[in-house]
Structures are given as structure tokens and as C-alpha cells.
Amino acid sequence: MALKKAKSAGAKPRRRRDPDGTRTAILQAAGTLLAKDGPQGLSVSQVAQLAGVNRGTAYQHFQTREQLVEATTGWVSEQLCQAAFGKTTGGKSSRKPSPEEQARLVDPRSGVIEHIVEFAMENPELARAWLFHVLASPQPAHDPFWKMYRQRFEEYVKTDSAQPGIDVEVHTVLMLVGTFLWPVWARAHARTAKERQQLALRFTEEIARLSLYGTMRPEKYPKLVARLSKRTQPKPVAAKSGRAK
Amino acid sequence: MALKKAKSAGAKPRRRRDPDGTRTAILQAAGTLLAKDGPQGLSVSQVAQLAGVNRGTAYQHFQTREQLVEATTGWVSEQLCQAAFGKTTGGKSSRKPSPEEQARLVDPRSGVIEHIVEFAMENPELARAWLFHVLASPQPAHDPFWKMYRQRFEEYVKTDSAQPGIDVEVHTVLMLVGTFLWPVWARAHARTAKERQQLALRFTEEIARLSLYGTMRPEKYPKLVARLSKRTQPKPVAAKSGRAK
DNA sequence: GCGGCATCAGACACCGATGTTGATCAGCCG
DNA sequence: CGGCTGATCAACATCGGTGTCTGATGCCGC
């Protein structure tokens, strides 16, 4: 078709006029570079180049490098929220979920972790970028995705399907960061989609096993059992509320 | 002692001639800056300034910025190895450990995790630096500290104190990264040494609880139990399924 | 068809970081 | 004590990134 795209010479086919599109293109490029170099290593020049956008245009969408980084981390978190929970963070209210839907969202076996792992396995850049962000942030728990996950798990802990005495914060740290680092580790071993899926399955299976049975055989650690049961016995929920306000 | 240190005017009291000392001073400064900005954010200028050393001197010890970063990550890993396992990585052989010593080193309840958490809680810069390094590295599992931990845990898994069917890699990812990120999270909440110790205790207790009992009540997930027990071994699962009541 | 605006190209001053080089001075050894 | 080695330092040239500005160009809605 005879249209734009000056063929031979390095002529640049000027980008079609689409502010939102370019913005997200920039964010996406910034995301992948963020994953590679971390927040401190991000340069507007590289981002613009990768996004196929003039540097000046980038500066038109984000006044300063710092703002670009900020916007990018927020965007990454948003992507993760949508992929994991299927809704945006900026609560457009959205009708209250039905009870069974509630249970599905809350129960750790319902697929939230599976979703996250699979998504992270297919988008390791986002996972890595999120980890960088969380690691660099002075307040990791302020991240929207973090808060979302934590809240969901907190609700699960209240149900009678959960073991008593769970420490929500510790669990959140373990699961979130483990779930996102696993693809980083696995990346070195899996090339094909099949291998990746297998590794994702391996992770979720081990999480399931650990969640059900733990790592140690209780009968081998009577003293530890006694101490822990003393901690959680009297009134499980009260014990937790003491520290996880 | 009354010596050196020209007092008033900005006169620089030329550093005493001490190659090894300056080298480790540089490494230490690089470590704390690495924790703050990540590998890509590290600048030789800042390192030299923080270490109280001329930039040129730094370049004499490490030919290039990249080499400095590399040496620093190695140094951090070394520090962690010594803190956690009490010996250096560059195996000077060192006599074989006695059987009970072996058990102490291998058993997850013996204090390895406690050691690491406490150390990480008191040296969050090192923890953060290590996480940055692991996150940025294409082969996280090549880190000496990582390998050391993994090997120890692998030996534990072979003992009959361990649950059957443990996935060593998944466990290593979870524990290592969780243990080091916990201080980063906790840092935002704890100021005094007492608070820090309390948070460290809270983490190890939850790890212990999780290792013993897991997160979910098996009786609520019969299908999952069936699938997992089929995966591992037919026999031992029944024993622990009764523990939770 | 026209005006507004998104996009691009290029240039500028400024800054900080990188490596390099030659001078300088501390500590050791004869 | 005097010289030598090399650890430490100050200064230089260079490069790349930032943030800003100007003018040109084309796309889209009115």
C-alpha cells in the first residue's frame, strides 16, 4: 500500500497523533527498562528511544525523570492489580461481590497465587520492575498491589478454613516477594512456554504443600509445638489482633 | 588518641597509607550506597566521598566502576556467609564438622534463619544490597550465599525430620528473599533496638509456625490433600493430617 | 479548510560521572 | 639519614544525561 513509511533512508514515520497511546507506549518502555536497570538506572533518553518517541515528547508527558519513574511504578502496580484481581485500584466502587465470589477471591487456593505466578512468568519484566520498586521504596506496604493482596489474605485468615495464629504481614512479605522472584530465578532455566508453565506449576504446588503441611514434622519438634500452641491456643484471633492491628 | 585530623580549615589530612584498610573502607561505603541506589545508581564519586577517599584512589583499587560493583556484591555475599554460617566461602577446607554440629547447621530450627534475620535486622543495608544484587543478576542462584543456604537446606531435606516432598528451590527462594526483605519492610516500623528484635522474633515465629503447620487446614481441602499426597508418598501424609485439631 | 495540538528535530547550557595522568607525600629499607 | 616505592591526591578532558526552548510538520476535530 502506498502510505507513509519512507522506505530506505532512515526517515522517521512520524507517530500518529495519539496522546494516550504514546503515553502508555512510554510507560511500557519505561517498565521494561525499569526491570533491567532499576529505578536509578532509568534514563529518559533510553526510554524515548525504546518507545520510538522523541525525547521532547517524553518530556511533554512527564515533566521530569523522577515523575516518569513514579508514574511507571504506579502503572506497573496497576497492571499487576488488574492481572491478579481483575479490577482497577482506583475503586470505581463496582458492585459488591457475591458471597461465593467473595470466597473465591479470598481463598488462597482459589487461584489468586496461580494467576499471579502465571502472569509473572509470562511478564518477568513487570515482576522485576515491581520488585525493584518495592525494594527501593521506603514504604513497600504503601504499594497498591501490596495493600490489595494483604487485604485479601487478611479476610481469608478470618475464615475457619485458615489455620489459627497466622501472621498476615510475614505471610504477605513471603508470598508476594517469593511469587515475583520465582520467575526471575526460573528465567535462567526455562526457554519455551511449556517449560515456563511447568515451573509455574511447580511453584504453586510447593506453595500448596507448604500451606497444607509445612516443612517440619511436628512430632520431631515437641518443644516447638508446645511453644507455638501456647501462643495460639487461647483465642486465635485475639492473638493476631494484638500485633497486626 | 591525639593524632592526625587537621581540625579547622578544610585542609585534607591525607589518608594514612594503608591499602587494605582503604580497600575495605571503599567496599563498605560502596555497600551502603549499593543498598540505597542499587547497582545502576552507584557512582564512584559518591562512594569515594562517603569513604573519605579521593576518587583517584578508588580507581587505583578498582579499575572501573563495573569492577567496583562486582567486588562489592561479592564482599556483601561474603559478609552474609560469615554472619550466617560463620565461615568463609573460599573454602579453606576447614575440618569436617562433627555429626551434632552437622545437625545443628542443617536443621532449620537450629538457628540459621534466626541468625540471618537478626543480622539482617541490624544491617539492613547489607540485606538490601544483597537483594539488589540477586534481583539484578541474571543467575541469582550463582551467588555464594544462595548456594550455601540451598546446600544446607538440601541436606536437611534428606533427614527424617523433614516433611516429604519438599521442593528445595522454591523453598530457598521463599526463605532467602523473605528473610532479607522482612527487615526492609520492618524498617519502616521499628526505631529502637528493642522493636527491631521484637520484629525479628515475630518473623522467626511465623516461619516456625508455617514450617510446622502451614497456612490452610487440610480437612477443609480434601481434594488438594488427595492430589498432593498422590504426588509425594502414599504413606506419611496421614500421620500429620491429624495434627491440627 | 482551518486552527489547535501532538509530535518531531535540533540546539543550548549545565551538570555530574568517568577514566586518565602527573605531582606529592608517607612509610619502609638500607 | 636519604632515597625509593607506591599509595594517595588534584586537575583535566570527555562523555552522556537533563531540562528547556524554538521552529517545523502533520493529524484531527470543528
Task: For residue B203, give every residue at least 6 positions away whose Cβ sits within 8 Å of its Cβ, in sequence order, or none.
Answer: A170, B117, B179, B182, B186
From residue A28, alpha-carbon distances to A46, A232, B36, B222 in Å are 12, 46, 25, 43
Cell of B62: 578498582
Q: Which residue type occupies A97?
A: P
Question: Which regions of B4-161 does DSSP assign to beta strands (E)?
Answer: none
Strand D footprint nucleotides (protein C-beta < 7 Å): 6-11, 16-22, 26-28
What does the alpha-carbon distance between residue A75 and residue A89 come to, in Å, rounded to a whole number?
11
Amino acid at B7: K
Task: Return d(Cα B112, Cα A221) in angstroms, integer.
Answer: 16
In the structure grid, which three cell numbers stand for residue A186, read together? 526460573
Residue A162 DSSP SS3: strand
Give the model's pLDDT for residue B17. Answer: 81
| Residue B109 confidence class, pLDDT cut points 50, 70, 90 | low
DSSP at A54? -
- Cα atoms in the Cβ-side hemisphere of radius 13 Å centred on B12: 7
Closest CA–CA distance from residue A196 to any residue of chain B (Å): 14
Closest by Cβ to B173, choosing from A139, A178, A224: A178
pLDDT of res. B134: 94
Q: Say which residue the cell 515491581 belongs to.
A: A130
Mutation site, B212, B223, B224, interface A, largest A CB count within 10 A: B212
The length of chain A is 245
State chain B's mean pLDDT as an integer.
83
- pLDDT at residue B5, as a whole number: 34
CA distance A32 to A126: 7
Residues 6+ apart with CB under 8 A from A31: A72, A75, A76, A125, A126, A129
Q: How confident is the model at residue B11 (pLDDT cuts 50, 70, 90)?
A: low
CB proximity list for A164: less than 8 A, separation 6 or greater: A232, A236, A237, A239
C11 C1' to B45 CA distance, Å? 30
Task: Show the cell assigned to A213.
Answer: 503441611
**pLDDT tens readout for residues A111-166:** 788 889 989 999 999 999 999 999 999 889 999 999 999 999 999 999 888 988 89
Which pLDDT belongs to residue B14? 76
Nearest nucleotide by C1' position to the A54 CA atom? C8
Q: What pLDDT does A91 receive?
A: 44
Which contacts qualify for A27-33: CB closer than 8 Å, 24 or more apart? A27/A71, A27/A72, A27/A75, A30/A68, A30/A69, A30/A71, A30/A72, A31/A72, A31/A75, A31/A76, A31/A125, A31/A126, A31/A129, A32/A125, A32/A129
Residue B92 clears pLDDT 90, i.e. is over it: no
Nearest to A161 among B139, B166, B220 (CB): B220
Which member of A136, A178, A225 has the closest CB to residue B174? A178
The answer to whether B218 contacts A212, with C-beta atoms less than 8 Å apart, is yes
Question: Smallest CA–CA separation between B107 and chain A, in Å?
Answer: 9
Q: How far is the CA of A68 from the C1' of D28 (A)?
A: 27
> Is the separation of the CB atoms in B134 and B146 below 8 Å?
yes
For residue A98, the model assigns a pLDDT of 59
Low-confidence ranges of chain A (pLDDT < 70): 1-12, 87-110, 231-245
pLDDT tens for B123-153 read: 999 999 999 999 999 889 999 999 999 999 9
Question: In the numeric block, which cell numbers belong to residue B182?
Answer: 522482612
Nearest CA among A195, A84, A193 for reference residue A147: A84
Choose the closest CB to A213 out of B131, B163, B169.
Answer: B163
Residue B225 to residue A203, Cβ atoms within 8 A: no
Q: Which residues of A touch B181 (CB under 8 A)?
A: 134-135, 140, 173, 177
Sequence-ordered strand ranges (E) for chain B: none
Query: Is the pLDDT higher at B4 or at B184?
Result: B184
pLDDT at B4: 34
Mutation for B interface: A160, A216, A233, A241, most B CBs within 10 A: A216
Q: Which residues of B63-73 are buried (b: 16+ CB within 10 A; e: fewer)?
A: eeeeebbebbb
Measuring alpha carbon to C1', the residue closest to nucleotide D8 is: B57
Q: How far from B222 is each of A214, B8, B218, B228, B229, CA to CA, in Å?
A: 17, 76, 7, 10, 10
pLDDT tens-place string over residues B192-226 = 999 999 999 999 999 999 998 888 888 888 888 88
Residues of chain A positioned with their CB less than 8 A from the CB of B182:
170, 173
Shortest Cα distance, chain A CAs vs residue B161, angstroms? 6
Q: Do B216 and A140 touch (CB under 8 A)?
A: no
Question: Half-sphere exposure (CA, 13 Å, Cβ side) for B87?
Answer: 12
> What's the CA–C1' distance between B62 and D10, in Å?
19
CB-CB neighbors (< 8 A) of A209 in chain B? 163, 165-167, 228, 231-232
How far, CA to CA in Å, does A210 sit from each of A168, B45, B174, B220?
16, 46, 11, 15
Work out the average pLDDT over B74-98.
73
Q: Which of A195-204, B1-10, B81-90 has the lowest mean pLDDT?
A: B1-10
| Sequence-separated (6 or more) residues with CB below 8 Å from residue A10 | none
- CB neighbours of A93 closer than 8 A, spacing ≥ 6? none
* pLDDT of residue B89 exceeding 90: no
Which segments of B92-167 does DSSP mark as H helices, in order?
99-106, 112-122, 124-136, 144-158
Check whether B93 has a pLDDT greater than 50: no
How many Å does it take to go from CA A118 to C1' C15? 44
pLDDT recorded at residue B240: 39
- Total beta-carbon pairs less than 8 A apart between chain A and chain B: 204
Q: Model confidence over B13-45: pLDDT tens digits?
A: 778 888 899 999 999 999 999 999 999 999 999
DSSP B190: -
What pLDDT was estimated at residue A101? Answer: 58
Q: Hey, are the CB atoms on B167 and A206 less than 8 Å from each other?
A: yes
